[in-house]
Homo-oligomer: A and B are copies of this chain.
């Protein structure tokens, strides 16, 4: 862990999780990764929306979680951070032995604040993109939300380390592109941006939502979420990826093809920086 990483478990500042915990036992929970810049969490309302959706989709009971209240134990530490990543993990707390989630409304919130040793708003270096061998399973009951069952991404990230590429595209079982191991993907064809539909698998990123609903329009692009093919990525005018930590990052190489036009990514990045500054 980078020096200075801090943890909270519910209200307490502690680096220990009480056992049992269904997050550890079954991946029974959700998480959010928030970027913290100059003492502020970026786009908390977007993370709130996804957290709430996951909460209902996993059948958690009780009132929807309030992200602001959940992160409150870390408020002071966040205020003192110039650049950090806050991971919020919400698990279905303890439980009886076995899978049954019970009727309880109990959940447990674990916070982890990790300082970054670079400026997260500086322009990220364009990346090279390969294709992962492991594919994403179709599971509509879990698609879109950021739950804790992430072995597919872990195995793909393991492949990445040996691949010679900076990142790997993940396809679904039908060979349809969905996302990279840790980011959503967009392609540009002329003045149209497209990003994969996520009805069957994948995580609906907060920056993806902002591009779809706000930034593409501001930057003068049409935008759509639709099924993409590998060929559409191979033949795109431009490819870029996005997530909460990197913001918007251009793809400079997809497999053996070099991509030199990064104009849409640059325009979207301006919208992103403007939204952060406002």
Question: What is the distance, in angstroms, from A38's C-beta to the closest C-beta of chain B?
Answer: 20
**A96 CA to B112 CA in the complex, in Å?**
12
Contacts A20-B112, A25-B89 supplied; 17 other A-B pairs, CB < 8 Å: A24-B24, A24-B91, A24-B110, A24-B148, A26-B27, A26-B148, A28-B150, A58-B151, A58-B155, A59-B158, A99-B154, A100-B161, A101-B154, A101-B157, A141-B155, A142-B152, A149-B150
Residues of B within 8 A of A50 (CB): none
Residues of B within 8 A of A156 (CB): 99
**Interface size of A by Cβ–Cβ distance < 8 Å?**
61
Instruction: Indicate how many identical chains form the complex.
Output: 2
Residues of B within 8 A of A161 (CB): 100, 103
Asked if A107 is an interface residue, CB under 8 A from chain B, the answer is no
B151 near A28 (CB under 8 angstroms)? yes
**A200 CA to B98 CA in the complex, in Å?**
23
Partner of A16, one of B16, B91, B173: B16
Asked if A198 is an interface residue, CB under 8 A from chain B, the answer is no
Given A17-B21, A142-B151: A157 and B99 interface contact (C-beta under 8 Å): yes
Query: Within A134-155, which residues are at the interface with B (CB < 8 Å)?
Result: 134-135, 137-139, 141-142, 147-155
Residues of B within 8 A of A1 (CB): 20, 94, 96
Q: Which residues of A contact B (CB under 8 A)?
A: 1-2, 7, 9, 15-28, 31, 58-59, 85, 87, 89, 91-92, 94, 96-101, 103, 110, 112, 114, 134-135, 137-139, 141-142, 147-158, 160-161, 173, 181-182
A19 near B19 (CB under 8 angstroms)? no
A18 near B19 (CB under 8 angstroms)? no
Chain B residue at smallest Cβ distance from A153: B99
| 22 pairs from A and B in contact (CB 8 Å cutoff) | A2-B97, A7-B20, A16-B17, A16-B19, A20-B112, A22-B154, A24-B91, A25-B148, A26-B149, A26-B150, A27-B148, A27-B151, A58-B151, A58-B154, A59-B158, A87-B97, A92-B154, A97-B114, A98-B157, A134-B141, A138-B138, A141-B152
Residues of B within 8 A of A96 (CB): 1
